[in-house]
Chains A and B, each alone.
Chain A
Amino acid sequence: MTAQELSERDYFTDPEILVDPYEYFNALRSQGPICRLEKYDCLLITGFEEALEVWKNPIDFSSVNSLASAAFPLPFEPKGSDISEQLDEARDKFVGHDMVVCYDGKHHTKVRSLISRVFTPTRLKANNVFMHDYAQELVQRVVARGSCELVSEVAAPYVTMIIASLLGVPPEDRVKFEEVIAAGQTVGSIEHADSPTDMTSMNFIAQFMAEYLQDRMKNPTGDMLTELTQSSYPDGTKPDLSELVGLSAFLFAAGQDTSAKLLGNAMRYIVDIPGLQQQLRDDRDLIPWMIEEVLRLEGSSKITARLAVRDTKIGDMDIPAGTRVGLAIAAINRDPVKWGEDANEFKLKRPRIREHLAFGRGVHTCAGAPLARAEVIEIINAFFDHTSEIGFNEAVHGKVGSRKYKFEPSFIIRGLDTLQVEFKA
């Protein structure tokens, strides 16, 4: 296929792009760092500097469509050089509009201040013992069997339990959430073009959060949910219950698929890059470096979106109010202008690696990044503790160099649906 033909494919629905989105984005990149997707009448950014400019300009670029995606048509006809009033009236027509990641301006600043209050290093540290013990337990169980399906047997339950324990979700309810999430539609589904992101599991979780929060108001404990009920905004006012419910549900859900998929993505590099597994086993301090490079090359969020609320610019390019912009993280993190000609290659301790954009940047930067990193580092260490070698089932995935994988059918999430792993004790 020529670059031209490839770039004309439909990113938001084409199952073939799932396998190698990077090739598709490279084809787009050859048209420049910002290109137009005619079919959706939106822009798509593949350039690092250009994307950074958008992320760091929350005044002109709204996050209202960050879950709905850049492909989602505006629910109104944009008029004039400033559409902020039109947007305010139509906000509730965007899927996920009541989630913090879609908030703008002062409302976002207020709710984000609650996140920084509760998601502190001290609190994460306090959960480390639980995380360590649970990682050891899960890993020992599957290693004893000699093989496992990594995504459903380890990654998903692991990240669910950890955020549940942090928030203070009672152990007996955790399995319920796991089941609902596993059964629900993936975020950014390529198979549901009309409603790629569905809020059913989020609403299910929210109902429970409402109960817990009301309970913690009467019976405070030391958990994060209690702390949320006791928190106030910077101006001294108290958040109402519905705000706390939405926030707790989002905190619970935001790191499920993303963190779980990061483990599978990291395993592919650990197992398939010649010599890497042994190098990491010999020097565990290299594991965080490996994670950062995997986040850059194969982070679990491929794309987010913004909407220009007033006439503005990206670089020299005029951007009229009403323009929808896709920020293609999977492409931005491989931009050769930023990373050099070896941008598509895995390189431990790459210069300026910490500047990758797997967690976004600016006011909406992923608040869960420290947690996601800690989780994955902990469980990889646990696997190294209890095995001498990790490999993949070649009957299912083929041999190195010609591996076959099934990917999550999502234009947002990058990660494996399943990964059959084998262990040597």
Chain B
Amino acid sequence: MSSVFVVDRSGQEEIITIEPGETLMQAISNSGMPDMLALCGGVCACATCHVYIDAAPESVMSGMDEDEDVLLGGVLSRQENSRLCCQIRLTEAYDGLRVTIAPEE
């Protein structure tokens, strides 16, 4: 079983088991972490699933498409390592991924 590490806005870290095929947003959301608002349910329309990637396979940063880039363009807290985690589709390769939930806009 693969797992990822998620740090919430208070700095608290949780270990979350992941299912290949789901998105990182779905995994975090289903774990009940209240900081993962994900208001649009993963259709790349709200940016409330913004995370910083702390440690990850290379492919995570290179996987961003234009829609995500445009939406993140309007986010003040965007950094080099920003991603909208509803756009990250998980595979076994993501085992050990570490992310921090970005501050609320």
A57 and B33 CA atoms in complex are apart in Å by 11
Interface size class of B (residues with CB under 8 A): 20 to 34
A355 and B26 CA atoms in complex are apart in Å by 18
A105 to chain B: closest CB distance in Å? 9
**A121 in complex: contacting residue of B38, B41, B67, B86, CB < 8 Å:** B67
Residue contact B45 to A113, C-beta cutoff 8 Å: no
Residue contact B39 to A121, C-beta cutoff 8 Å: no
**Number of A residues whose C-beta is below 8 Å from B?**
31
Instruction: Tell me, yes or no, whether A83 is within 8 Å of chain B by CB.
Output: no
Instruction: Tell me, yes or no, whether A4 is within 8 Å of chain B by CB.
Output: no
What would be 23 A-B contacts, judged by CB atoms less than 8 Å apart? Answer: A56-B29, A57-B32, A59-B30, A109-B21, A112-B42, A115-B43, A116-B43, A119-B43, A120-B43, A120-B44, A121-B44, A121-B71, A234-B21, A235-B21, A354-B46, A363-B41, A364-B41, A365-B40, A366-B41, A367-B43, A369-B40, A369-B43, A369-B45
Residue contact A365 to B32, C-beta cutoff 8 Å: no
A359 and B89 CA atoms in complex are apart in Å by 23
Instruction: Tell me, yes or no, whether A233 is within 8 Å of chain B by CB.
Output: yes
Instruction: Tell me, yes or no, whether B95 is within 8 Å of chain A by CB.
Output: no
Interface string of B35-58 (1 = CB under 8 A from A): 001111111111000000000000
Interface string of B66-104 (1 = CB under 8 A from A): 110011000000000000001001010000000000000
B2 to chain A: closest CB distance in Å? 14
Cβ-closest chain A residue relative to B66: A122
Instruction: Tell me, yes or no, whether A174 is within 8 Å of chain B by CB.
Output: no
Residue contact A370 to B43, C-beta cutoff 8 Å: yes
Residue contact B41 to A361, C-beta cutoff 8 Å: yes
A57 and B22 CA atoms in complex are apart in Å by 15
17 additional A-B residue pairs with CB within 8 Å, beyond A363-B29, A369-B40? A56-B29, A57-B30, A109-B19, A109-B26, A112-B42, A116-B42, A120-B43, A121-B43, A121-B71, A122-B66, A234-B21, A361-B41, A362-B29, A363-B26, A363-B30, A363-B41, A364-B41
The 6 closest A-B CB pairs, nearest first, are A365-B41, A234-B21, A370-B45, A121-B67, A109-B22, A367-B43
A425 and B91 CA atoms in complex are apart in Å by 58
Cβ-closest chain A residue relative to B48: A354
Chain A residues with CB below 8 A from B38, complex form = 361, 365
Chain A residues with CB below 8 A from B29, complex form = 56, 362-363
Chain A residues with CB below 8 A from B66, complex form = 122
Cβ-closest chain A residue relative to B89: A234
Cβ-closest chain B residue relative to A364: B41
Cβ-closest chain A residue relative to B68: A121
B80 to chain A: closest CB distance in Å? 23
